Amino acid sequence: MIWSFVLATVGIIGIYVAGRDSKWGWAIGLAAQVLWIVYAIVSHQYGFIISAIGYGYFYGLNFYKWNKKVRR
């Protein structure tokens, strides 16, 4: 059960940091998805893998957009 609290906290921190216009927020969110996949495998809750892939895609996409915006 502690895993779910840790993962939720990491995700919330990632969103908060991203909202402060920092690329690290997107990186934290993306890294959290790796942890969700590990959690899904260990706990045999494989549906979390699908959500982690979806969230990871958008975290990666927004990270890419953020970098592109900064380079202009």
Taking the C-alpha atoms of residue 52 and residue 34, their distance in angstroms, rounded to an integer, is: 7
The model's pTM is: 0.80
What b/e string do you get for 42-70 counting C-beta neighbours within 10 Å, with b at 16 or more? eeeeeebbeebeebbeebeebbeebeeee
Phi, psi of 20 (to 5 degrees): -90, 15
What are the pLDDT tens digits along the chain (72 aa)?
Answer: 788 899 889 989 999 998 898 888 888 999 999 999 999 999 999 999 999 999 999 989 988 888 888 787
CA quadruple 54, 58, 60, 2: dihedral sign: negative
SS3 58: helix
What is the reported pLDDT for 71? 81
DSSP 8-class letter at 45: -
What is the reported pLDDT for 26? 87
